[in-house]
Structure 1
Amino acid sequence: MSQQPGQMSVERATETLFPTVIQISQLSNATEFNKDLMQKVAKLRKETPNGRPDSWTSSVYTTLNTADQLHLMPEFAELASAIMGEANSFADTLNLAHNQYPLRIKDCWVNIYGPKDGQEMHLHTNSVISGSYYLKVPQGGSGIVLHSPFTDNMFEPPLAGINALNSGAAELPVEEGMFVLFRSWLKHSVRPSPVKQDRISISFNLMM
């Protein structure tokens, strides 16, 4: 490359530090697994009051606060085992000392989003790993929106365009049979559902 008189040659490199790590997994046997789970969730919904906190603005059905220990129920044992497998794999990736301080599921509950139901931005306190398993995702349904942990701390300058290095949020598309895991400090939300069919997920937190 030509160099003008008086100009210095500069070598530049860009490094990505402190990444926000997300683990995405897809079950190979999801169809049969989900069929069985759907029956159990339908029964649970009939028998369990909506545990939706008063602070939530949508009418989403949740067993948070009413049946949030699904991992201890025999009928959800296979799901609990799958959650632990995913969590331990994620802990390996993050190099957490989970062999010395084993992970355990703290809580696990169902969320059913109807038309126009969404979820405000939030995080999960007193946990290490959080995530969701997607049981039913209608075509065109909402994904999960993940929010940068840095946007609340600093003034945001005007941007010429949005990309992966400056975005404050990103929506991750989800599919039936998918696990999404992340560190519990990561803020996330669900945009209001634009479709008429229910979107069903099972969320969970783990601690050490």
Structure 2
Amino acid sequence: MPPPAKPAQKPSVIGLFPTPVMTVPSLCPPELCASILAQARADAKERNAHDQRLAHSAMVRPEDDQRFGRLASLLDPHLTEFGAVLLGERLRWRVKEMWVNVMQAGGRQEMHNHANSFVSVVVYLTDTSAGSRTVFHKALGGGDFAFVNENKATQVSAYNARRWAAPPMRPGDAIFFPSYLLHEAPPHEGPERVTLALNSLPERIDSWGYAVNFG
């Protein structure tokens, strides 16, 4: 009698080197959001170089502002969890700087990333309109030829998409992402879009004894 046939094995698709992005609903409580929002309009005095309908506040360390310090303490456990996903180890994290962004109707923020930081966070202080959700982009690449298949018949997936729009955010919601990730805010359709952004560093990174400490 011949041996029983082995069950047919199906092909498998493996998501290689995925990029983590984490959303945290209602991270900032309503009263703290309202307090930061009330001050944001007065603090956001620096006009964006690319769009005059967008203004930024000065960068503030959380220890220099009681409201930002409270928010940093709420962020801390989530930074630890997200950092463990990103770096593979639970470490202490420190928020370096925080600032607010106030965008008027029609304003937008150009594509950018955040230098000298490992994890960046955006905390939403107002609702986002459907068209002004934060959009993340793949790296733009170097000087090589670029081949893209993008047309009305294309079925977009995590493997071929060149951009991804975050879900709609409510006041108090937050999104965590690696600081190198390119992102933008498309033209805003609502009356006002206010966010708080921040950068953070781990206490150190260590590659088999070759360590860098960030204090």
**What band does the TM-score fall into relative to the shorter chain?**
0.7 to 0.9
Q: 1:142 aligns with which of 132, 137, 160?
A: 132
Could you tell me which runs of 5 or more consecutive residues in structure 2 were left unpaired when the two chains were aligned. Answer: 1-7, 203-215
Kept in 2: contact 1:58–1:119 (CA 8 A): no
Secondary structure in 2 matching 1:94:
helix
Q: TM-score, normalised by structure 2?
A: 0.77
In angstroms, what is the RMSD of aligned CA positions?
2.3
**1:205 paired to 2:194:** no
Counterparts of residues 149-188 of structure 1 (less than 5 Å):
149=139, 151-153=140-142, 155-159=146-150, 160-161=153-154, 162-172=156-166, 173-188=168-183
Percent identity, aligned pairs only, is 23
Counterparts of residues 85-104 of structure 1 (less than 5 Å):
85-99=77-91, 102-104=92-94
Counterparts of residues 1-208 of structure 1 (less than 5 Å):
11-27=10-26, 30-42=29-41, 45=42, 48=43, 50-54=45-49, 56-63=50-57, 67-72=58-63, 73-99=65-91, 102-137=92-127, 139-140=129-130, 142-149=132-139, 151-153=140-142, 155-159=146-150, 160-161=153-154, 162-172=156-166, 173-195=168-190, 197-208=191-202
| Equivalences, count | 188
1:107/1:147 Cα in 2 relative to 1: closer, same or farther (>3 Å)?
A: same
| Greater alpha carbon shift after TM alignment, 90-99 vs 115-124 | 90-99
1:24/1:58 Cα in 2 relative to 1: closer, same or farther (>3 Å)?
A: same
Given residue 149 of structure 2, which amino acid in structure 1 is its aligned partner?
P
Could you tell me which runs of 5 or more consecutive residues in structure 1 were left unpaired when the two chains were aligned. Answer: 1-8
- Equivalents in 2 of 1:204, 1:141: separation in Å? 23
Structure 1's consecutive aligned runs of 4 or more residues displaced over 3 angstroms after TM superposition are: 95-98, 138-141
